Amino acid sequence: MDWSGFVRSVPPSSVDSPVGIGLYIGGVSSRIPSKVAEVNQLVDDFLASVRGRGLSPKTLREYRFPINEVLLPYCRVHGITQLEQLNRPALDRLSAQLLEDGGKSGRPLSRHTIASYLRSINVFLSWAEAEGESVAGRAKAPKSSKRLIDVLSRDEVQAMEDAAVTERDKLIFRLLADTGIRVGELVRLTLNDLIERDRTHYLRVGGKTGERMVPIPRLYRRLLRYAQRGRPRDVPSDRIFISLRRRPGGDHGALTPSGIEQVIQDVGVRAGITKRVYPHLLRHSYATWALNCGMNPVMLAHILGHTSLAMIQNVYSHLTPTDAYDAMVRTLAEEELARPDASASALRPRR
């Protein structure tokens, strides 16, 4: 079988990937459905729609790669030129070939990677259907085991903040660890995103699922002080986190996601953390800690910027039976304490 151009590389998989978020909700179709839908033209229109919605370059790549480098080569090999030919059996064969043949180099692809590719393809198919095209099926992802996610303990979080050299780096690390915001959201924060309302303090975050208010009761004063006094003085940008090095033009530019990743890696090395440390690990660590502390999953989904509880359920399944036991004990203890004549001494969580 000729897999020329099928898969050139495997992009890193993200558990908080935007794949699966509908791109057409609330929109009005501007296309006139063709009598016979050409797959190539529909792909071009779909990717133009993604770009037109102002989604991030990372999000665009997560849609473009599976469609351009997986779906279209598969269609060429099998002579599929019309959307109606992409029925369920054809999509099942695509999934099977990814499982059996892997990428272009012959190396196998993980089931999680294949599932992310197929989700992107399904988003394209859903978009086409919303545009009035005839869609014959959806891809079904192969079954995969639950992925166990490594997280940082709160002691490790504190050790890493202590290891950071500058207040900027300490705040970057603590903000990611105590709010779970995405690195792309962090680099876009401006001075106007520090909000005070009736003695409560929030961070206004513009994410891939819209704008949300993230509580920052412990960090607001530090962030405000740093934003007003700690940043380089001659900065044309209103971004909170600025590069400490001057650009060739002589001014300081806003930090980039790659710059944040380097900061986090350096702090991990300084703190002696042996596990791989990266920004999204702090997001997972925050969510795990919040759930273990009894935070309502609905509220956690709002803080993290998820549109549903599905991501919480799928990603944070690594919580142990002990976690569930202690959560139940806390719930029962609260109920017992509500009774004036009852004692909750026998219902204390294990330590």
Instruction: Produce one character per residue of 154-181: b if its CB has 16 or more CB atoms within 10 Å, e if not.
Output: eebbebbbebbeeebbbbbbbbbbbbbb
**Residue 104: pLDDT above 80?**
no
Question: Given this model, what pLDDT does residue 103 score?
Answer: 67
User: Considering its fold, how many domains does the chain have in total?
Assistant: 2
Range of the structural domain that residue 168 is part of: 154-304
Hey, is 46 helix, strand or coil? helix
Question: Given this model, what pLDDT does residue 267 score?
Answer: 94
Q: What span, in angstroms and rounded, lies between the C-alpha atoms of 280 and 304?
A: 12
The 10 Å Cβ neighbour count of residue 323 is 15
Q: Enter the DSSP assignment of 70.
A: I
Find the range with the poorest average confidence among 35-44, 45-54, 63-72, 194-203: 35-44
Query: In terms of C-beta density within 10 A (0-12 exposed, 13-18 middle, 19 or more buried), how is residue 223 classed?
Result: buried
Statement to judge: residues 122 and 203 lie in one domain: no
Structural domain ending residue among the three candidates 145, 169, 198: 145
pLDDT confidence tier of residue 344, bands split at 50, 70 and 90: very low
Q: What span, in angstroms and rounded, lies between the C-alpha atoms of 109 and 96?
A: 11
pLDDT confidence tier of residue 186, bands split at 50, 70 and 90: very high
Question: Given this model, what pLDDT does residue 54 score?
Answer: 76
Q: Which two tokens stand for residue 256?
A: 């980039």
Over the chain, what is the mean pLDDT? Answer: 78
Statement to judge: residues 58 and 183 lie in one domain: no
Structural domain ending residue among the three candidates 262, 288, 304: 304
Number of H helices, E strands in the chain: 14, 5
Structural domain ending residue among the three candidates 118, 145, 172: 145
Instruction: Report the CATH number at residue 269.
Output: 1.10.443.10
Question: Given this model, what pLDDT does residue 34 score?
Answer: 44
Statement to judge: residues 271 and 163 lie in one domain: yes
Mean pLDDT over 140-147 rounds to 71
CA dihedral 182, 186, 190, 193 (to 10 degrees): 50
pLDDT confidence tier of residue 108, bands split at 50, 70 and 90: confident
- Better-predicted residue by pLDDT, 293 or 263: 263
Residue 297 domain-assigned (yes or no): yes
Residue 332 domain-assigned (yes or no): no
| DSSP collapsed to 3 states, 134-168 | CCCCCCCCCCCCCCCCCCCCHHHHHHHHHHCCCHH
Hey, is 316 helix, strand or coil? coil
pLDDT confidence tier of residue 249, bands split at 50, 70 and 90: low
Residue 285 domain-assigned (yes or no): yes
Write the CB contacts of 250 (distance below 8 Å, at least 6 apart in sequence).
Answer: none
Hey, is 323 helix, strand or coil? helix
Residue 278 domain-assigned (yes or no): yes
Statement to judge: residues 131 and 165 lie in one domain: no
Question: Given this model, what pLDDT does residue 141 score?
Answer: 82
Statement to judge: residues 72 and 188 lie in one domain: no
Statement to judge: residues 25 and 68 lie in one domain: yes
**Residue 119: pLDDT above 80?**
yes
Mean pLDDT over 247-258 rounds to 76
Q: What span, in angstroms and rounded, lies between the C-alpha atoms of 190 and 192?
A: 5
Per-residue pLDDT tens over the stretch 216-244: 998 999 999 998 888 877 777 888 998 87
Question: Given this model, what pLDDT does residue 170 score?
Answer: 95
Per-residue pLDDT tens over the stretch 192-213: 999 998 889 999 998 766 789 9
Question: Given this model, what pLDDT does residue 346 score?
Answer: 41
